[in-house]
Amino acid sequence: MTEIRPIREGEGEAFLQLLCDVFTLDFNRAYDVFFTEPMFDLERKWALFEGPEMVSILTTTPLEFGWGRAFGIAGVATRKERQHEGHASRLLQRVLREGERRGEPAALLFARETKVYERNGFEPLDRVIRAELKTTREVLDDPLEFEDVRAQYEAWSNAHPDRLRRDERRWRYWQWQYRVPGPFRDGYLCHEPGVLREALFTGKPNAMPLPSGTEWLGTTFMADQLELPVEKITVDLYVMGYKVPGVPQMFMTDQF
């Protein structure tokens, strides 16, 4: 007998073990992150069961844009010995129907391979790229206060319906991942060692005040909007959408 539903108390470890097996992750290292991250919600961790066996899984995350509510899909995984039997598609279709019922009719995901998602009604909307940034020897000033970053982001987000809104829970998630924002021009850069994932500013820069070798990790749309000085571009992921009305404007600091 096949059953598709959110997992229940006591099933989290089995869910995590399947995820780690498929994506070759260390279970012990993933354990604390899995159960403590601010977006954790058993009701959004779905599984397809055959009898008592958990065969295929995925996680959904609530999203909101100016045009309305949606949800993100991540961690789509099927037991290696049960792959290519259609389990992921059945699980996806069930979750998409549930999204409609919840008032979240649109869905987004990041994919390395697009075919299975295209078969389930998704279409490619954008690409996530890694690209080397032209940099200067200048170093960012002291970090901005969180409330300053939040105010700038929310003003930007509210200015266009395709931009992702951040509620309190999503801001907690943003802080939980320890972002380091520094001032740049009339905005900010949000970076980690070697990676820039979020930036808001106006005017085309010739180079960025970041260490040599820093890469942009984000969508092509946002790189073009910011007119980032990028080179040596490689495609990392594809942004896939289901009933999404435009190209989503969001940063990889919000990756689900």
**pLDDT value at position 55?**
98
Q: Please give the Cα distance from 39 to 42 (Å, whole number).
A: 10
Q: Is residue 116 part of a domain?
A: no
Considering the domain architecture, whether residues 94 and 135 belong to the same structural domain is answered as: no
Considering the domain architecture, whether residues 98 and 6 belong to the same structural domain is answered as: yes
CB 133 within 8 A of CB 184: no
Listed residues 71, 104, 137: the one ending a domain: 104
Q: Please give the Cα distance from 228 to 201 (Å, whole number).
A: 10
* Mean pLDDT for the stretch of residues 58-63: 98
Q: Please give the Cα distance from 132 to 206 (Å, whole number).
A: 13
Question: 4: which strand partners?
Answer: 48
Distance between first and last Cα of the chain: 31
Residue 71 in tokens: 């949800």
Considering the domain architecture, whether residues 133 and 28 belong to the same structural domain is answered as: no
pLDDT tens track for 63-114: 999 999 999 999 999 999 999 999 999 999 999 999 999 999 999 999 999 9
Q: How many domains, in total, are found in the chain?
A: 2
- Token pair 């105010």 is found at 151
**pLDDT value at position 35?**
95
In the predicted model, is pLDDT for residue 141 greater than 70? no
CB 249 within 8 A of CB 222: yes
For residue 181, the enclosing domain spans 129-245
CB 94 within 8 A of CB 46: yes
Q: What is the CA radius of gyration of the chain?
A: 19
Considering the domain architecture, whether residues 22 and 89 belong to the same structural domain is answered as: yes
Its pTM stands at 0.94
Considering the domain architecture, whether residues 134 and 218 belong to the same structural domain is answered as: yes
Residue from 238, 221, 239 nearest 230 by CA: 221
Instruction: Tell me the pLDDT band of 199, cut-offs 50, 70 and 90.
Output: very high
**pLDDT value at position 142?**
78
What is the share, in percent, of the chain residues with pLDDT greater than 90?
93
